[in-house]
Structure 1
Amino acid sequence: MHKPPPVLDVDALLDDPRTRIIVCCGSGGVGKTTVAAALGLRAAERGRDVVVLTVDPARRLAQSMGIGELDNSPRRIEGVQGDGELYAMMLDMKRTFDEIVEAHSDPDRARQILANPFYQSLSSSLSGTQEYMAMEKLGQLHRSGDWDLIVVDTPPSRNALDFLDAPERMGRFLDGRLMKLLAAPAKTGGRLGVKVLTAGFGVFTGALNKVLGVQLLRDAQTFVAAFETMFGGFRERAEKTFQLLQTPGTAFVVVATPEPDALREASYFVERLAEERMPLAGLVVNRVHRASAAAVAPSLSSARSQAAAETLTERGEHPLTASLLRLHADRMQLAAREERLRAGFTSAHPSVPVTAVPAQAEDVHDLDGLHLVGDDLAENAAVPAA
């Protein structure tokens, strides 16, 4: 028999004034956004001023809070009970990049950068930009000092942890051969610069220069010349935010459902966080099915239910009762399967605190639904084994 895992004490985590950042991560479709919103709401109603930042481009956070939409600025959520306040926002990658340019360069240079076609493409499509901007926005929110607690809802899938790589990836990009090549004309000047630029691209991409044309190269060169002075600031801020994530004031909460793929992803997150020395609070197993009928009639096992249903069917008696017995048998089998999967995770990660949230009767789309999820999160009662 597996030893039960330590229990994740959600209220203790939310009430601890040293907890300043909670990062929710997990694979897609596990209810991570709902868990993040429920944590934020519960913390606010327990007296903390909270902002929930979602990096997921889907609009589930706004929907779960019963509002139309969110943008790149914190929006106050009405209807919160208690002494705290709750705000929510959705990361706008492009707008955040623009804000950085405006904040860290003079007005003339900012206008030049923002109007540059190469920048406009880079700021909205460069791989890793979303994760880096998430780091920037988290750093901005923390430096503002406006909130006691920041809850971050990361994108789905393993990319949810890509923001841990953001400082290194941005550094590689800024220090890369391509960026140095683009900066060369500004340093050599005049026609020689254009020749160096064109020759360099020829070495890298061959026919790409013919496809893209000289105008794009000039746009890129102009962008780098204006942007170069900001490179160091990007790297420095990202590194500070990365260090912030490693402090005891940050807590990572991994969210999963009792399914093989989701729990494998959860194991990946737990192991990666350990490698990066990130503080893990624990695992939330969401949408768990309880075998509650077993507590009422412990002798009515799945096998006995199925056998009784078959007997009634053979006799042609009580078809409704037979259907209910089959339904109960299926529910018991599902609960037992989920219990085995959770036990497998616990066996592999025995020190990770766990809490479970029962499956809801319907999708969460308002504060009342989030209250129920928050209550379940903090209940800290082990889900009965099948």
Structure 2
Amino acid sequence: MSHSLDVDGLLSDASVRIVVCCGSGGVGKTTTAAALALRAAERHGRHVVVLTIDPARRLAQSLGLTELDNTPRAVTGMDESAGGELSAMMLDMKRTFDEVVAAHTEPARAKEIFANPFYQAMSSTFSGTQEYMAMEKLAQLRASKDWDLIVVDTPPSRSALDFLDAPARLGRFLDGKMLRLLIAPAKAGGRSVFNLVTASFGLFSKAVQKILGAQLLTDLSGFVAALDSMFGGFRERSEQTYRVLQDPQTAFLVVAAPEPDAVREAAFFAGRLGEERMPLAGLVLNRVHQTGAAEISAAEALAAADSIAAEFPVAADALRIHAAVAEQAEREQRVIGRFTGEFPQVPVLAIAAQATDVHDLDGLRAILA
């Protein structure tokens, strides 16, 4: 039997420095992350920064900010009586990639990388770049002394597992043997790498050019040659951040809605976190429907409505509304039971469905009230 998640106990624990909200798209991760960050600052005096990777502007709006960018912005209008502070930011993956390049290469080499067409495309649209740069930014924030709690809203992905997989994939790509091979022309005084190896590899090179195109291969080779000084760093930082995610200072919260697909995805993610030995703190269920009179079942409400409909039509309508909500709540509990049955040790926090969308700090406070 799953037990209730003590969210205040989690947020007040000074040993917890990172809270990662993850789950499939459309389940309320962004709002949940903002609500948790606000509560940690207002109630528990934490110095919090919330990092969102969601391209939508909902987080900025709910925190009373006109916009968010790659630099943390202080949130105003919050209750500071507990001594807490809250800042918010939205990941700019290209700017973060630029920062990484600038920090780990000489200025002239960085300028060469920035001008390379392959880098320009990769830093903006390459698969896995967003998730990898989220990990890079997390490492930067963790190294800063400005915050004692970082709340991460993971990228909206087709699969929630992408947040764990993509950084490693990109790190392997940037540090891979094929890219190292492409560096060879620059190291060989401009001679083609294909003149330095066997004729059979020359046939392979023609196949590669046919698939990628000669210009793309040229851009890629130039990009890798310019990036040579950074090889090893991508993988090393990715592995270091991965180890941080396995540490008790990190708490993962799987966010879901009481819908079959979302709960199924949450179960996959919970299983994966267990396999990777990452600390799963609990399941947050958003938009859970509840009735004000749980002791009256849907069937009882409908029967009562039918018996009084002629004499008390308004009361009968109210009973039918209660029955509809009760039926939905029962369906949701059956769906939730699939997760709790598989992971009975995982604490659960159920958040009631809100009457309106969240647009301000009061709305965020109401979520965890």
**TM-score surpassing 0.5?**
yes
Query: Secondary structure in 2 aligned to 1:273?
Result: helix
1:186–1:225: 8 Å Cα contact kept in structure 2? Answer: yes
1:167–1:239: 8 Å Cα contact kept in structure 2? Answer: no
Shift in Å, 1:256: 1.1
Is 1:115 aligned to residue 115 of structure 2? yes
Is 1:288 aligned to residue 288 of structure 2? yes
The separation in 2 between residues aligned to 1:68 and 1:42, in whole angstroms, is 21
Is 1:274 aligned to residue 274 of structure 2? yes
Q: How does 1:365-376 map onto structure 2 within 5 Å?
A: 365-375=359-369
The separation in 2 between residues aligned to 1:301 and 1:246, in whole angstroms, is 44
Query: Secondary structure in 2 aligned to 1:207?
Result: helix
Shift of the 204–180 alpha-carbon distance from structure 1 to 2, 3 Å rule, reads farther
The separation in 2 between residues aligned to 1:201 and 1:60, in whole angstroms, is 49
Would you say how many aligned residue pairs link Structure 1 and Structure 2? 363
2:29–2:153: 8 Å Cα contact kept in structure 1? Answer: yes
Structure 2 length-normalised TM: 0.92
Shift of the 261–160 alpha-carbon distance from structure 1 to 2, 3 Å rule, reads closer
Is 1:309 aligned to residue 312 of structure 2? no
RMSD: 2.1
Shift of the 192–231 alpha-carbon distance from structure 1 to 2, 3 Å rule, reads closer
Is 1:150 aligned to residue 157 of structure 2? no
Query: Secondary structure in 1 aligned to 2:26?
Result: coil
Shift in Å, 1:102: 0.8
Query: Secondary structure in 2 aligned to 1:160?
Result: coil
> Counterpart in 1 of 2:317?
323
The separation in 1 between residues aligned to 2:21 and 2:288, in whole angstroms, is 18
Deviations 1:173-214 (A, max 9, x none): 1343531342121122234448679947644435336xx34x
Shift of the 301–159 alpha-carbon distance from structure 1 to 2, 3 Å rule, reads closer
2:288–2:351: 8 Å Cα contact kept in structure 1? Answer: yes
Is 1:9 aligned to residue 12 of structure 2? no
Query: Secondary structure in 2 aligned to 1:254?
Result: strand
What amino acid is the match of 2:289?
A: H
- Counting aligned pairs with the same residue, the percent is 62
The separation in 2 between residues aligned to 1:350 and 1:369, in whole angstroms, is 31
Match of residue 77, structure 2, among 71, 76, 79: 79
> Counterpart in 2 of 1:332?
326
Structure 1 length-normalised TM: 0.88
Shift of the 306–238 alpha-carbon distance from structure 1 to 2, 3 Å rule, reads same
The separation in 1 between residues aligned to 2:315 and 2:167, in whole angstroms, is 61
Query: Secondary structure in 2 aligned to 1:285?
Result: strand
Shift of the 123–194 alpha-carbon distance from structure 1 to 2, 3 Å rule, reads farther
Match of residue 24, structure 1, among 16, 21, 24: 21
What amino acid is the match of 1:131?
A: E
Q: How does 1:237-252 map onto structure 2 within 5 Å?
A: 237-252=237-252
2:41–2:85: 8 Å Cα contact kept in structure 1? Answer: yes
The separation in 2 between residues aligned to 1:234 and 1:226, in whole angstroms, is 15
